Amino acid sequence: MSDTQLHTAENGVRIAFRQTAGQGPMLVFLPGYMSDMAGGKATALFDWARAQGRAALLLDYSGCGESDGDFADGTLSGWRDEVLELIHHYGGKHKALLIGSSMGGWLNLMVGEKLGARLAGLVGIASAPDFTEWGRSEADKAKLAAGETVYDPNPYGPEPTPMHASFWADGQANRLLDRTIEIDAPVRLLHGQGDADVPWEISLRLAAALRSDNVQTLFIKDGDHRLSRDADIAQLIKTCAQLCAEIETALLKD
């Protein structure tokens, strides 16, 4: 992409990102597992934000997309820290509205807890917190615990999808659904009921675990995991626009 920039992180890895200036809150899109900022949802949201004069930030985690690094070295904790670093470097005085897809919907919770008062809100798209637990068989867990890599069929490409032992172990150490998730900001959860990868019931568990009382879930009966059809993306943008308006109204009252 012509406006992609590179940020050299504290660990020396160069992280690819795109940003557009504008009014806040700053929209920050967190892609899913083995995905990147060139995806349809991220691009559409960024283009909408730029057209509306809203601040937005896209990024590729290390080992993904245009960023440096090896995917095999990636962990949720490491990617969380990269997201936080970019928000602190490029977010100015804006609060952050985190939008996470699938694994990104786990990561935005981890980032959100760390942001504290700087978190404006969250949007989850087929959020997949704790998928290293509920998404793996006991046989897989035994292999991963022994240091093996497990490969899954990939419905979106020709190569199988790997899960590396280090990623799995870090995920298990960062499970959220069996404790109170310490986020008080407004949260909106979108989930397709035809999702073959992340059961829609996970969003119900997530809504219950969040400390915030301002949580709404929207189930799309014929929606799949990606929620990337034109109508799905339109719903995502509508949700973000409404949440931005709510956040800005609350700030004016303060």
Q: 60, 130, 170, 195: which one is catalytic?
A: 195
Q: Could you tell me which residues are beta bridge partners of residue 195?
A: none
CB pairs under 8 A, 24+ apart, for 5-10?
Answer: 7/85, 7/86, 7/89, 7/90, 9/62, 9/82, 9/85, 10/85
Distance CA 74, CA 65 (A): 13
Distance CA 123, CA 216 (A): 10
| Residue 212 among the catalytic residues | no
| Residue 89 among the catalytic residues | no
Q: 94, 164, 191, 225: which one is catalytic?
A: 225
| Residue 127 among the catalytic residues | no
Query: CB-based burial of residue 120 (10 Å sphere; 0-12 exposed, 13-18 middle, 19+ buried)?
Result: buried
Q: 102, 127, 203, 232: which one is catalytic?
A: 102
Q: Name the nearest CA neighbour of 206 among 189, 219, 186.
A: 189
Residues belonging to the active site: 102, 195, 225
